[in-house]
Amino acid sequence: MATVCTHPKILPTPAATVSSINIPKSSQSQLLFRSHLHNPKTPNFLVSPPNLHTTSNPHHLKPHILCSQTDNPKPTRRPDYIPNRISDPNYVRIFDTTLRDGEQSPGASLTSKEKLDIARQLAKLGVDIIEAGFPASSKDDAEAVKMIAKEVGNAVDKDGYVPVICGLSRCNKNDIQTAWDAVKYAKRPRIHTFIATSPIHLEYKLRKSKEQVIEIARNMVKFARELGCDDVEFSPEDAGRSEREFLYQILGEVIKAGATTLNIPDTVGYNVPEEYSQLIADIKSNTPGIDNVIISTHCQNDLGLSTANTLAGACAGARQLEVTINGIGERAGNASLEEVVLTLNCRGEQVLGGLYTGINTKHIYVTSKMVEEYTGLHVQPHKAIVGANAFAHESGIHQDGMLKHKGTYEIISPEDIGYERSNEAGIVLGKLSGRHALRNRLAELGYELENDQLATIFERFKAVAEQKKSITDADLGALVRDEVFQPEVVWKLHDLQVTCGTLGLSTATVKLIDADGREHVACSIGTGPVDSAYKAVDLIVKEPVTLVEYSMNAVTEGIDAIATTRVVIRLENSHTVTHAQTGESVQRTFSGIGAGMDIVVSSVKAYIGALNKMIGFKERSPPKFPAERNKVSA
């Protein structure tokens, strides 16, 4: 919105002096970079730090061409967790909000089981803090956060690592109490409370004065501490468009009230990197008591700057970075975990002051796929780090370079994110391959399957191998995700037959199996094969849903490609949640993904997946008597 972009209230403030910023000791080049950063004449945050190739930089001796982990060994032990302090000034905490901000993406509703699976995966990644949800938004969310707190929040590993489990709350007693009731089961529970501070939010959303907002924030942080929570995060929402003096004042007050982390959200993705780094630096220089807390970033992606802003914030002294897997989140999303972490891994030592995280990047690929599948939010092929093309080399010149030396066109190795590329085409298995080879390859790709899951995948693998010359890693991934990353099965597709063409109406016959193993058959006509098949499914399942979105992609090239289909559905007048920031009731939508060589089968699987997810929300258990559900049908 042009009017917002020309908002006049962002006032220039005195630049922080270099000495006021907590500069990691380890990097001379970073020191030079910072002084450059705070030179008012410097036009852009992303300029190269000067002097990188002088003798003060140990890397000048060996040109750095790859960021692979073997090239860049990291400290293995993360500092002990103390809410308001980190013993190593270079360590940066990763706060993952996929399950909260990420779930606010349209169509991204997750069931409790899916949230638990993702939380387990985030713990494998080693994120420091998991924001597991917004418990006051719905009973479902409160239950999911509680389950995650009990299970993931108590699974201490051999090094003593266990993630902090955090619940979001607005600044009111009911939200804070509900968040505490959910997170308190974790070994390290955290309450994250927020209230808006920008002039536009104060005037139009809150209709409160600055004094009133300070009073509420102070009292609510105090209330959270009095409940027994010793790890309280406070966010002045829309800090990116708030007045500096007001921020210093409210932040100083919540520190006195007991806040341990101060998160500085660029809620509408309005800031540019230099501006955001200045905001963090100014808060660091001017807020009373700031040295006793951790500063955090939370950068939305409305202008596509969330990763750059997050890193700029880290360079200015933030030691907690809020991110999501695949960058999903409200509107244009959030800073993506994989981009932020890989940048710190890749360039941290050289140009980012030696900053590092405790993330085990080998789990990134599978986590990304799991989040993609469960949320139904496709990752664009050219997405950095996790997109399908991120490690593909199409042009002859690039392929030639890659064959001569991978460093010519690849700065990180796919292996670093857990994607093992066995050869350039990724072709590994064919119809003569056995179960053992399949298990090994899947394990290399990061999928560790139970025996029964492997048996099902093996059956499907053989069926595809009968029809397709070679099976790529992408095909395997699609099959596994189609079977494993699925909601609890209520309805399952057994058989499908369609006739279509120019001679008459399309007709579909569908056989589904219910949770008790009973068969249900229906047939219907429709405007095309998918429409008639969906209508036949509707005749059996009898849920009054609206199809909100339908899309299809081919996973690999060629006529024998595996197709994945994504659908989003909505059940009318049902499943509302309270939106964290607007407080409005929002209707949930449910997505499903299906994969197969037959596009109609893939489409029907996706539809049934979305229906299963929706029914799982509604009933929390598989239907015993399908006939009973007929009562709610339209």
Our CB check for ligand KIV shows the closer of 132 and 537 to be 132
Neighbouring C-beta atoms of residue 558, cutoff 10 Å: 8
Give the nearest distance from C-beta 238 to ligand KIV in angstroms: 6
Task: Tell me: does residue 135 bind ligand KIV (CB under 6 A).
Answer: no
Q: Does 482 bind ligand KIV (CB under 6 A)?
A: no
Using CB under 6 A as the binding rule, whether residue 300 contacts ligand KIV is answered as yes
Q: Cα(258)–Cα(9) distance, rounded to whole angstroms? A: 30
Give the number of other CB atoms < 10 A from CB of residue 171: 24
* Minimum distance of ligand KIV from residue 131's CB (angstroms): 9
Distance in Å, CB of 8 to ligand KIV, minimum = 22
Piece in contact with ligand KIV (CB under 6 A), picked from 109-117, 143-151, 263-271, 436-444? 263-271
Indicate which single residue of 140, 141, 231, 237 sits in contact with ligand KIV (rule: CB under 6 A): 237
Among residue numbers 547 through 566, which ones bind ligand KIV (CB under 6 A)? none
Note the Cα 108 to chain centre separation in Å: 11
**What is the total count of residues that contact ligand KIV (CB under 6 A)?**
10
Element (H, E) at 613: helix 599-619
Closest by CA position to 15, among listed 221, 319, 337, 280: 280
User: Is the Cβ of residue 568 or residue 580 nearer to ligand KIV in the bound state?
Assistant: 580
- Applying CB under 6 A, which part among 158-166, 261-269, 305-313, 530-538 lies near ligand KIV? 261-269
Q: What DSSP letter does each residue of 91-138 carry, written as one string?
A: B-EEEE-TTTTGGGSTT----HHHHHHHHHHHHHHT-SEEEEE-GGG-
Minimum CB distance to ligand KIV smaller for 37 or for 122 = 122
**Secondary structure of 41-87 as H, E, C letters:** CCCCCCCCCCCCCCCCCHHHHCCCCCCCCCCCCCCCCCCCCECCECC
Q: Does 269 bind ligand KIV (CB under 6 A)?
A: no
Supply 281's token pair: 């630096």
Distance CA 321, CA 340 (A): 9
The pattern of x and - marking residues 459 through 478 that bind ligand KIV according to CB under 6 A reads --------------------
Q: Which residues does residue 567 pair with via DSSP β-bridges, in sequence order?
A: 550, 592
Among 45, 95, 180, 194, binds ligand KIV (CB under 6 A): 194
Q: Using CB under 6 A, which of 121, 169, 242, 267 touches ligand KIV?
A: 267
SS3 state at 447 = coil
Cα–Cα distances in angstroms (integers) from residue 393 to residues 4, 18, 171, 209, 519, in the given order: 41, 43, 50, 56, 47
CB 214, min distance to ligand KIV, A = 18
Kindly state whether residue 101 participates in binding ligand KIV, applying the rule CB under 6 A. Answer: yes
**Member of 83, 102, 265, 333 binding ligand KIV (CB under 6 A):** 265
Q: Binding of ligand KIV at residue 263 (CB under 6 A)?
A: yes
User: Counting contacts by CB under 6 A, is residue 258 touching ligand KIV?
Assistant: no
CB of 104 to ligand KIV, least distance (A): 8
Q: Find the shortest distance in angstroms from Cβ 102 to ligand KIV.
A: 11
Adjacency order of strands within the sheet including 519-526: 492-499, 506-513, 519-526
Helix, strand, or coil (residue 194): strand
Q: What are φ and ψ of residue 235, in 5° steps?
A: -125, 125
By the rule CB under 6 A, 134 interacts with ligand KIV: no
Select from 34-42, 259-267, 417-425, 428-436 the region that touches ligand KIV (CB under 6 A).
259-267
Name the residues that contact ligand KIV, by CB under 6 A.
Answer: 101, 194, 235, 237, 263, 265, 267, 298, 300, 580
